[in-house]
Amino acid sequence: MSQWFLGVLALPVLLMPMPFAAAQQATGVLRGQILDPANAAIPKVAVTVTGPGESARTTQSDDSGAFVFLGLPEGAYSVRASAPGFAPF
């Protein structure tokens, strides 16, 4: 009898609509590494990415020159890197 009771309680929960479920959206990741002409890493470079319908996002490269942008919607992006002593790229 207790199994029947648990089944009756679970059924309304399973049939409830999911109002908080989010629609799936395709996103991507942009990774890179900032190197000088001698292939030495350049740390603390300001990296800005601008994409379709998005405001610009900025991050800073780490000690190995690496940077990452997560959760970017599909589309074409422009990337700008700038650091003191180097021309913007």
Distances (CA, A) of 61 to 13, 30, 41: 47, 13, 9
The whole model's pTM is what?
A: 0.69
pLDDT at 22: 56
- Rounded to whole angstroms, the Cα distance separating 66 from 32 reads 6
pLDDT value at 66 more than 90: yes
φ/ψ of 25, rounded to 5, equals -135, 135
Per-residue pLDDT band at 19 (split at 50, 70, 90): low
Per-residue pLDDT band at 85 (split at 50, 70, 90): confident
